[in-house]
Amino acid sequence: MRTEEQIIKGYDPVITRRILSYLSSYKLLTAVALIALAIAAVSELYTPVIIQQAVDREILVRYAAFEDSEDMHSYLDEHAEVPDTVHTIGDQLFINYQDLAWLSREESRRLQEAGMMEEQEWYLTERRDEDEFIRLTEKHRDLLVLSETHAGLPRSDLSELEREEIRVLRAQNLENIWNMAGLYFLLLVSVFIFSFIQVYLMTFIAQQVMKDIRVDLFRHVISQSMAFLGRTPVGTLVTRITNDVETINEFFTSVTTSLLKNVAMMIGVLAVFFLLDYSLAWITAATLPPVIIGMIFYRLKARDSYRRVRLWISRVNAFLSEHISGMDVVQMFAREGKSRSFFGRLNDKLLRANLAEMYVVATFRPLVNFFTSTSIAVIVYFGASMVLDANLSLGVLIAYINLINMFYHPVMEIAEQFTVLQSAMAGGERIFNLLDEHDQIPDTGTARLPEPVSGSITFENVCFAYKENEPVIRDLSFSVKPGEQIAIVGYTGAGKTTIANLLARLWDIQEGSIRLDGRDIREYRLAYLRKAIQPVQQDVFIFSGTIAENISFGTDISRSQIEAAAKLVQADTFISRLPHGYDTQLTEWGANLSTGERQLISFSRVVAHDPRVIILDEATASVDTETEVLIQQGIRRLMKGRTSFIIAHRLSTVRHADRIMVLSAGRLVEMGSHRELLDKRGIYYNLYQLQFES
């Protein structure tokens, strides 16, 4: 059955909270990362303010001159925005235009007509005791107006001074500009350092969270029942633990961090707008609604296009997986052309979906650039008018232009991060759906295994069904003495392997009880029970690693114990012939070993774990007769002194069992020795006749 990826939600607060809950172990690092993010954002936002201060306070120094009279003082006192410091030189009052935002162009004209304010702008600087400055003031007494603290002249008269004289006059401005340049550089360094700290910490935290989620997923999966593992494809579980967890990394590194920074920058820019100039801030804010509408529209279109891309990627992958795996069937029925044609159509659908997604992105980028240019045009138009009206300084206008660019860059990033957020939500949804699925064998037992375990087994009125109303074992009862060898035979589907699964409690019975040494197996902890009862299955799984690691799997035993276990089942014979002996590297499934060699390693593994009850489930069904004879010698040594169950189709392997159980449709229909069952001429007799006499 083919499953297709579905993206249901662009954002889910429940999934987000569950993802963020993994940050609880890294609260300190997260706090440091957020502090670094805040410092980097504030540092970056302050850079346009530095430029504004440099332009208005040091480069374009402009003062307005008012008459020093009681009427003028009364007029100025009525305005709360007048600065506390007003420089008095002679019979004039000087105020920096930076501090006269309240003074409109019309009001300036009225004051000038009343003779209370000069029309020309002035330049003021503090007086200094330097020789060059003193010589300058003495040389140009006719141009300069002087007080004890300040010196000034009309800005139009600055051209009367030589270049070096201007440098002497404006030395303090130049020094302040150098200081501001140094501060600007320090802010850039601060942005770099704290951005690095924030990105590194969030990446580190994301990797730790990924590790925690992978561990939780793996722990959850291996604790599930065989029913769950049987109905869930292995590829799906692997995808959940690998690819879907990777989307969580993107959630932290590409979404959460960037989103916090971008939102902080946008809010910070708006705050700086209003701090610099309230009127122009409202004008600028009026240009933003189209951007918000564009983002909402892009979000909807991007979500739809992303869903289509994921849908067709899923279908293409499914087609490739099926047809590459089944290529022998494709070639056998000469379906290459049809398959190629169908794949071409699927690939064309994927191409169209990708192009549609690119179309949305390609439309949004120029749209954001258009909005940026429009906002700048509005700022320049209204800002320039305010500058001409003396209601706004040139430095503030320059700062606004820089800030509007800083505002729109996060807008574009936030919009483009939406697909990453959607992917993270989808991955998180699949991860937590898996974690929320609980289909486990209850491990509530508290009893320990008796010392020593004798190995007596009792089935009492056991009933079991893999699916409801489809019983596999029906009212099964029998007892096995310690050390007894029991063979289980019957037609396919009689329930032989099911008994092995129930003994190891890989499945739980619905009715009756199974007892080990007189106690119900559900009263034992699973770890104890499965240490006492271990099956050897027909399909032996060999893990990638050395032979020694495969034998000692799950136990901490010495090399001598490993070799002793292998010798006991006669696996040492072929192991010693290998180039590296017990250190020979095996591939997954043991592909570089024969079937019989893999089986002998599985016997060695069981001996190394030393269980008291052994279940051999068709352990020799996949080997030839000659190899079977060799393995039988290992089996006899393996079963010596242990209670054992032998499940087999080949009756030659069960002749010497103490008793043979014959199952039919989940019921025990015959039990006895080989000779006793032949004499009964029942089902066992018929099976024997089919295998040996016909």
CATH code of the domain in which 514 resides: 3.40.50.300
Q: Is residue 312 part of a domain?
A: yes
- Residues 537 and 390 placed together within one structural domain of the fold: no
- Residues 413 and 524 placed together within one structural domain of the fold: no
Residue 52 region by backbone torsions, left for phi larger than 0, else alpha for psi between -120 and 50, else beta: alpha
Determine the Cα–Cα distance for residues 471 and 418; give it in Å rounded to an integer: 51
613: burial class by Cβ within 10 Å (0-12, 13-18, 19+)?
buried
pLDDT tens by residue, 598-610: 878 888 888 788 7
- Residues 392 and 479 placed together within one structural domain of the fold: no
Q: Is residue 60 part of a domain?
A: no
Q: Is residue 80 part of a domain?
A: no
128: burial class by Cβ within 10 Å (0-12, 13-18, 19+)?
middle
- Residues 579 and 635 placed together within one structural domain of the fold: yes
- Residues 482 and 426 placed together within one structural domain of the fold: no
Query: Of 369, 401, 435, which residue sits at a domain end?
Result: 435
Structural domain tally of the chain?
Answer: 2
- Residues 409 and 486 placed together within one structural domain of the fold: no
Query: Of 435, 469, 504, which residue sits at a domain end?
Result: 435
pTM reported for the whole predicted model: 0.71
Q: Is residue 56 part of a domain?
A: no
pLDDT tens by residue, 476-516: 999 999 889 899 988 888 888 888 888 888 888 889 999 99
Task: Give exposure, 627-664, as e/b (b: 16+ Cβ within 10 Å).
Answer: bbebbbebbeebbeebbbbbbbbebebbeebebbbbbe
> CA separation (Å) from 113 to 78, 109, 119, 351?
20, 6, 9, 73
Average pLDDT of the residues in 321-341: 78
pLDDT tens by residue, 85-98: 788 888 889 988 87
Query: Of 400, 435, 470, which residue sits at a domain end?
Result: 435
pLDDT tens by residue, 19-32: 888 888 889 998 99
Share of the chain above pLDDT 70, in %: 91
Q: Is residue 145 part of a domain?
A: no
- Residues 387 and 354 placed together within one structural domain of the fold: yes
Average pLDDT of the residues in 520-524: 89
Omega of the bond leading into 13 within 30 degrees of 0 (cis)? no
Q: Is residue 657 part of a domain?
A: yes
Average pLDDT of the residues in 331-353: 83
- Residues 424 and 481 placed together within one structural domain of the fold: no
Determine the Cα–Cα distance for residues 66 and 112; give it in Å rounded to an integer: 9
| Structural domain boundaries, residue 514 | 457-693
Q: Is residue 82 part of a domain?
A: no
- Residues 193 and 309 placed together within one structural domain of the fold: yes
CATH code of the domain in which 356 resides: 1.20.1560.10
Average pLDDT, the chain: 82
Q: Which residues contact 346 (CB under 8 A, 6 or more apart)?
A: 312, 315, 316, 319
- Residues 328 and 284 placed together within one structural domain of the fold: yes
- Residues 198 and 339 placed together within one structural domain of the fold: yes
50: burial class by Cβ within 10 Å (0-12, 13-18, 19+)?
middle
Determine the Cα–Cα distance for residues 529 and 517; give it in Å rounded to an integer: 11
* Cβ pair 553, 534 in contact under 8 A: no
Q: What pLDDT score was predicted for residue 360? A: 77
Q: Is residue 251 part of a domain?
A: yes
- Residues 430 and 461 placed together within one structural domain of the fold: no
